[in-house]
Amino acid sequence: MKNLRQLGHQVAFADSPDKAILETVPNPHPGTNYLVRFTCPEFTSICPKTGQPDFAHLVIDYVPDKKIVESKSLKLYFYSFRNHGAFHEDCTVMIAKRLIKELSPKWLRIGGYWFPRGGMPIDVFFESGKLPAGLWAPDQGVPAYKGRG
């Protein structure tokens, strides 16, 4: 863990997802299938057309192989989207592809539960591979959007 540049250090925020550093550490249980869940209930990005903020509740589930993601670097990666202009679909799939590139997980899924833009919520889902046999992946627990009542 000596090679981690962000954990335990004060770091500047990256101004774009491409510049953000996503760090990994060795999986402490490489021979065991288990599921890791990250939930980001206050994810933000910018609409590429209007410049207004977009908000999402992200849920990421993955089954590690040789590496796991270091959580502070994941938070900083999410933060790098705050001034990034992209559609909901692009943000959600971009995050999935970056995690796959960095981790090479056995399985990954992401649910992007976006709050309404123009009166319509947009939910984006991505999954890679198949969940290993015998492993439980709970429901992501985010209810369908019902407005204010």
Q: Provide the residue-wise pLDDT of the chain in tens; the chain has 149 residues.
A: 567 665 555 777 788 999 999 999 999 999 999 999 999 999 999 999 999 999 999 999 999 999 999 999 999 999 999 999 999 999 999 999 999 999 999 999 999 999 988 888 899 999 999 999 999 999 999 988 776 55
| pLDDT score for 4 | 63
Cβ of 142: how many Cβ atoms within 10 Å? 16
**pLDDT at site 147:** 67
Radius of gyration of the chain (CA): 16
Residues acting as catalytic residues: 47, 54
- pLDDT score, position 33: 97
Q: Where are the domains of the chain?
A: 35-128
Contact 58, 98 (CB under 8 A): no
CB-CB neighbours of 18 under 10 Å: 10
The per-residue pLDDT for 44 is 96
Contact predicate 115/56, CB 8 Å: yes
Give the global pTM.
0.91
- For the CA atoms of 88, 92, 109, 117, the dihedral, rounded to the nearest 10 degrees, stands at -20
Q: Which fold has domain 35-128?
A: GTP Cyclohydrolase I, domain 2 (3.30.1130)
